Structure 1
Amino acid sequence: MKILALESSSERASVALSIDGDIRERVLVGHANHSEHLLAAIRDLLAAAGLGSSALDAVAFGSGPGAFTGLRLSCGVAQGLALGAGLGVIPVSSLAALALFAPHHQVLVATDARMGEVYHARYRVENGTVTELAPPACSPPSAVPAAGPDYWGLGSAFAAYVTELAAVRAGLIGCDPLAAPTAGNVARLAVQAGSAACLPAEGAFPLYVRDKVALTTAERLARGNKA
């Protein structure tokens, strides 16, 4: 199965190509929200593999939750490529893609949602398979529930909200605040999902979790001016 994967829900955008489980990946440094750089990386990746978009079986993208602009970018590019080549689209949770990096079976993923909030979810990871234990949610860091002593922590929220998440982090086995979702992991999960997870291009959408993009001045002050 040949799947092209895109991930731009965080500041580290990347593209990956999975050919029968063999994954080739390119990371875009400093150009996470620029479509021309994403498209150029896709062209280079396909050219290096000697493939055209019509040779693909599907296009996958990290559907979020994450940065609104990044989600719209990867979703839009995935839809455009899929429509042009007559392919299906596989949306993959960006938090689940991040969870694949966990060195332990159970993981609390928590990423910085900006505006004084955190995207968080809990997963079990076994033999490269990710099972959702608690669905993605968005809340102030003070409302992130403790995961328990048998969990590993991953994600940028642990760096963005050091004080607010100190108690949660103290209860974890370990934590990596620098980990971010990658297109390679999006591709791995898309391969596992297979053709049954393919949607028509026009039916694939980002998972925003939080619909509100901006806060009022009063709300920002109440949440400690985290932007």
Structure 2
Amino acid sequence: MNNLTLLAIDTSTEACSVALLHQGEKTHLDELAERTHTQRILPMVDSILAQSGIGLNQVDALVFGRGPGSFTGVRVGGGIAQGLALGADLPVIAVSNLTAMAQAAYEQQQATQVITAIDARMNEVYFSQLVAEKVRSEFGEFLQWNEIIAEQVGAPTRLLEKLGELQGEWTTVGTGWAAYEALQNLGANTTITLPSAQYMLSLAVPMWYQKQTISAVEIEPVYLRNEVTWKKLPGRV
């Protein structure tokens, strides 16, 4: 792993973050930039590479948060990732924003049972339920997240119905718990609310060794919503 260099970016929520794994060390930059992702992300990439004294062409792969998240944020992240990867001829590793927050819960709180919920607006949340297990491979031991509830979008009540009767200790992460009254009791102890690129690095390392990479032209942001409904303005068709 000390010879592996990964650059991660994420703009899928109001958070904007970049992280670098280089010579076995991780560095990261995180900002709240709800409407300025396009202005901030590339300077942040330049800054973190300069801090480590390397160029983009010395990176082994580009990692990006492929969603779910805000439509604009996910689209921006996919576009920036594609541009960087094409420009430097880099393979790409796409990481779920929901799983990245579960990884944060593990690294910060040693949580291995996590329920994620990001506010999706329109009275809906993006959510998943995940359990971690340690897996041994020829590349060493790593953490693998298994979905109990596959990531999806729905009303807060749908999430509660899917969860049913929870057994054991579950950690909640994401903005969705505080956003909706129906979820506030279950998510009262939520402290991790937004994804960060630094935890995407942890997920990407085993994916790299297992050759789970794609090319820049294969990048597909994950919105989970098939359509978005807008209210028609008076007089408009």
TM-score exceeds 0.5: yes
Q: Does 1:96 align with 2:99?
A: yes
Q: How many residues align?
A: 212
Structure 1 stretches lacking a partner, 5+ long: 218-227
Instruction: Please list the CA deviations of residues 15-42 of structure 1 after superposition, one character each: whole Å capped at 9, or x if unmatched.
Output: 0011144210001233564323100000
Structure 2 stretches lacking a partner, 5+ long: 135-142, 233-237
Pick which of 92-101 and 14-23 moved more.
14-23
Instruction: Please list the CA deviations of residues 55-102 of structure 1 after superposition, one character each: whole Å capped at 9, or x if unmatched.
Output: 010101011110111111111111111111111111000000011122
TM-score, normalised via structure 2 length = 0.83
Question: Which residue is 1:180 aligned to?
Answer: 194
Residues 157, 177 of structure 1: 8 Å contact kept: no
Question: Which residue is 1:204 aligned to?
Answer: 219
Q: What is the one-letter code of the residue matched to 1:140?
A: A
Question: Which residue is 2:235 aligned to?
Answer: none
Among 167, 170, 180, which residue is 1:149 paired with?
A: 167
Residues 59, 87 of structure 1: 8 Å contact kept: yes
Question: For residues 12 and 212 of structure 1, what CA distance do their matches in structure 2 show?
Answer: 24
Question: Which residue is 1:113 aligned to?
Answer: 120
Residues 8, 33 of structure 1: 8 Å contact kept: no
Question: Which residue is 2:147 aligned to?
Answer: 132
Distance change (3 Å), C-alpha of 1:32 and 1:216: closer
Distance change (3 Å), C-alpha of 1:156 and 1:22: same
Question: Which residue is 2:40 aligned to?
Answer: 37
Residues 178, 184 of structure 2: 8 Å contact kept: no
Distance change (3 Å), C-alpha of 1:33 and 1:86: same
Aligned-pair CA distance for 1:212:
2.0
Residues 65, 207 of structure 1: 8 Å contact kept: yes
Question: For residues 230 and 122 of structure 2, what CA distance do their matches in structure 1 show?
Answer: 7
Aligned-pair CA distance for 1:117:
0.4
Q: Does 1:189 align with 2:215?
A: no
Residues 11, 37 of structure 2: 8 Å contact kept: no
Question: Which residue is 1:220 aligned to?
Answer: none
Question: For residues 191 and 152 of structure 2, what CA distance do their matches in structure 1 show?
Answer: 18
Residues 59, 78 of structure 1: 8 Å contact kept: yes
